[in-house]
Amino acid sequence: MDVFDMKQRSILVGTVLVASALTIFGILMLRQPTLNSPGLSTSGNREHNSNSSLPTLSRQEQHESGVTHVLVTGGAGYIGSHAALRLLNDSHRVTILDNLSRGNIGAVKVLEKLFPKPGRLQFIYADLGDPRAVNKIFAENAFDAVIHFAAVAYVGESTLDPLRYYHNITSNTLVVLEAMASHGVKRLIYSSTCATYGEPKKMPITEDTPQLPINPYGKAKKMAEDIIRDFSKNSDMAVVILRYFNVIGSDPEGRLGEAPRPELREHGRISGACFDAASGITTGLKVRGTDYNTPDGTCIRDYIDVNDLIDAHVKALANAESRQVKTYNVGTGRGKSVKEFVEACKIATGADIKVKYLDRRPGDYAEVYSDPSKIRQELNWTAQYTDLQESLKIAWRWRKSHTNGYGPPTDEH
Ligand SMILES: NC(=O)c1ccc[n+]([C@@H]2O[C@H](COP(=O)([O-])OP(=O)(O)OC[C@H]3O[C@@H](n4cnc5c(N)ncnc54)[C@H](O)[C@@H]3O)[C@@H](O)[C@H]2O)c1
Ligand SMILES: *[C@@H]1O[C@H](CO)[C@@H](O)[C@H](O)[C@H]1NC(C)=O
Ligand SMILES: *[C@@H]1O[C@H](CO)[C@@H](O)[C@H](O)[C@H]1NC(C)=O
Ligand SMILES: *[C@@H]1O[C@H](CO)[C@@H](O)[C@H](O)[C@H]1NC(C)=O
Ligand SMILES: *[C@@H]1O[C@H](CO)[C@@H](O)[C@H](O)[C@H]1NC(C)=O
Ligand SMILES: *[C@@H]1O[C@H](CO)[C@@H](O)[C@H](O)[C@H]1NC(C)=O
């Protein structure tokens, strides 16, 4: 969400390093029970296991009929962790690949606790920017599908640090695609964004609206889409590209939530900013621009609940077809103004959030909302969580009971 301030860029490197050291310990503990499941013969059904350096096959190395083994990149992040939860609950097998640069090992630990049975969930700490590491992971695991969430995803940050975006979005997607191609993994669901459309003249946005992105984030995602489409022309891969609108909400059962790194707060999205104001972490909310050509003068966006979004991924996974790239908008089809959002957030949190109205910020556009009819017609998907206040209430419940995110609990309540 582009409506809020994003001046502060100081990243607490020291804190991150210490946190990484601590989490790596946690990961090693975590990998122990799931990584090796001895007792299986080496009669894997993949020809390229023949040169495997491992003495025996773990469960992950064999395809299992009736079970889809999904590689979830970025599965320690906000959307990826919710996807992993749903896939595991649907009895799929999940491997999370994440380098925790922005995600939370705490989310992985929650999933581990919920699905402790060996062979269901595997966490691999790795960097998608490292092709050799990625290739090795594909060689050692029989993935049936990949959902590629891992990315950096803040519009404001992308204008300040474009190479970080082209590297971690475009180039890393190429690494994933090459690994899939050389290891015969034939189903891909790709996380794209409405930012690839830029500033369309006509609303709502359909999948045929021209893609003319205006910031490095949108451009990097568009390039990744182009690479995938070009590759698919001469491949039998089954691909679904989902272009998300503004994602909000969290698991209704309160097991997972959205916990962005504190150092990214200033780049943050509107729900995070509202919750920060509601919990007193910030003194109030800055709304930039009240003179847009919209009914109440503030920007209009299409807010999609993460539970609906994940449902779209599950349907995409089931309906992906060989030699096709299907592309869908995932939104509610209805725009909500920033003022409406703030009112809903006030009610959901019960907090009297102070709102400061400021001038417009350059680069923000007045109105963005989707036409989701294609995904409804083709995948029978429609948004179910369309009550903004209810989605925010659920997300706030998690936030309030996790004042320190996925970190160690704090005493304050
Ligand atoms: N949140 C939204 O509103 C929104 C909207 C449109 C599209 N998207 C897309 O959805 C996807 C997920 O977004 P999110 O909001 O969950 O973000 P997130 O930051 O919570 O999750 C991204 C995850 O990817 C991991 N990651 C990043 N670079 C990596 C690398 N090189 N190697 C391994 N792991 C790496 C991070 O550690 C993190 O856990 C992204 O592709 C994003 O562009 C999000
Ligand atoms: C081992 O298998 C991989 C594919 O998984 C292949 O690219 C590689 O060339 C093989 N190496 C040898 C020595 O056969
Ligand atoms: C998990 O699966 C059960 C049925 O097996 C279902 O009732 C429940 O809603 C599912 N939960 C999630 C989060 O998908
Ligand atoms: C995550 O990956 C990036 C490259 O994409 C790398 O530069 C960085 O060091 C990694 N972070 C961690 C904590 O491993
Ligand atoms: C992204 O890429 C840059 C290199 O451009 C790297 O320094 C950084 O650590 C990478 N990872 C993240 C999460 O930004
Ligand atoms: C479409 O989805 C609805 C519920 O979301 C379901 O009741 C209906 O049977 C589905 N229709 C088809 C054709 O699958």
> In degrees to the nearest 10, what's the CA dihedral of 103, 108, 109, 115?
170
**Model confidence pLDDT, tens digit, residues 307-318:** 999 999 999 999
285 with 342: CB under 8 angstroms? yes
> Rounded to the nearest 10 degrees, what angle do helices 78-89 and 306-319 cross at?
60
DSSP-based three-state secondary structure for 400: helix
Bridge partner residues of 189 (DSSP)? 147, 240
Active site residue 78: no
Q: What are phi and psi for residue 285, nearest 5 degrees?
A: -115, 135
Tell whether 358 is covered by a domain.
yes
Which residue's CA lies nearest to atom 6 of ligand 4? 127
State whether the Cα torsion 297-284-78-231 is positive or negative.
Answer: positive
Residue 6's pLDDT is what? 33
Q: Counting atoms of ligand 1 from 1, which one is nearest the CA of 246?
A: 3
Question: Does the C-beta of 386 come closer than 6 Å to ligand 4?
Answer: no
How many CB atoms are located within 10 Å of the residue 254 CB? Answer: 13
Question: Which tokens in the block code for residue 187?
Answer: 């189903």
Long-range contacts of 158-164 (CB under 8 A, 24+ apart): 158/215, 158/216, 158/217, 158/220, 159/215, 159/216, 159/363, 160/9, 162/216
Residue 409's pLDDT is what? 60
391 with 384: CB under 8 angstroms? no
Residue 146 CA to ligand 2 center (angstroms) comes to: 21
Bridge partner residues of 301 (DSSP)? 336
Residue 57's pLDDT is what? 46
Question: Does the C-beta of 168 come closer than 6 Å to ligand 4?
Answer: yes
Question: Does the C-beta of 89 come closer than 6 Å to ligand 3?
Answer: yes
Measured distance CA(135)–CA(382) in Å, rounded: 36
Residue 196's pLDDT is what? 97
Question: Which tokens in the block code for residue 22?
Answer: 């601590």
- Catalytic pick from 165, 217, 303, 406? 217
Measured distance CA(203)–CA(302) in Å, rounded: 11
Measured distance CA(58)–CA(280) in Å, rounded: 48
249 with 306: CB under 8 angstroms? yes
Tell whether 193 is covered by a domain.
yes
Q: What is the count of structural domains for the chain?
A: 1
Tell whether 312 is covered by a domain.
yes
Q: pTM of this prediction?
A: 0.85
Q: Counting atoms of ligand 1 from 1, which one is nearest the CA of 79?
A: 16
Measured distance CA(325)–CA(189) in Å, rounded: 10
Measured distance CA(62)–CA(411) in Å, rounded: 45
Residue 33's pLDDT is what? 33
Which residue's CA lies nearest to atom 4 of ligand 5? 164
Residue 268's pLDDT is what? 78
Measured distance CA(272)–CA(258) in Å, rounded: 8
> Rounded to the nearest 10 degrees, what angle do helices 388-401 and 270-278 cross at?
60
Tell whether 5 is covered by a domain.
no
Measured distance CA(181)–CA(174) in Å, rounded: 10
Residue 126 CA to ligand 4 center (angstroms) comes to: 8
Q: Counting atoms of ligand 4 from 1, which one is nearest the CA of 168?
A: 5
Tell whether 394 is covered by a domain.
yes
Q: Where are the alpha helices (DSSP H) in 105-202?
A: 105-114, 131-140, 155-160, 162-165, 172-182
DSSP-derived secondary structure letter, 360? P
Residue 3's pLDDT is what? 35
Q: Residue 93: enclosing H or E segment and its boundaries?
A: strand 93-98
CATH number of 307's domain = 3.40.50.720
Which ligand minimizes its atom distance to the CA of 114? Answer: 3
| Residue-range definition of the domain harbouring residue 157 | 13-33+57-401
Q: Residue 303: enclosing H or E segment and its boundaries?
A: strand 303-305
Tell whether 2 is covered by a domain.
no
- DSSP codes joined into one string, 17-72: HHHHHHHHHHHHHHHHHHH---S--S--S-GGGGG-SSSS--GGGS-BTTB-EEEE
Q: What is the pLDDT along the chain (413 residues), one digit of tens a residue?
A: 333 333 333 333 444 444 454 444 444 334 433 333 322 222 223 333 333 333 344 556 678 788 899 999 999 999 999 999 999 999 999 999 999 999 999 999 999 999 999 999 999 999 999 999 999 999 999 999 999 999 999 988 999 999 999 999 999 999 999 999 999 999 999 999 999 999 899 999 999 999 999 999 999 999 999 999 999 999 999 999 999 999 999 999 999 999 988 888 777 789 999 999 999 989 999 999 999 999 999 999 999 999 999 999 999 999 999 999 999 999 999 999 999 999 999 999 999 999 999 998 877 788 999 999 999 999 999 999 999 999 999 999 999 999 889 987 655 44
Tell whether 6 is covered by a domain.
no
DSSP-based three-state secondary structure for 205: strand
Which residue's CA lies nearest to atom 14 of ligand 2? 51
Tell whether 334 is covered by a domain.
yes
How many CB atoms are located within 10 Å of the residue 321 CB? Answer: 12
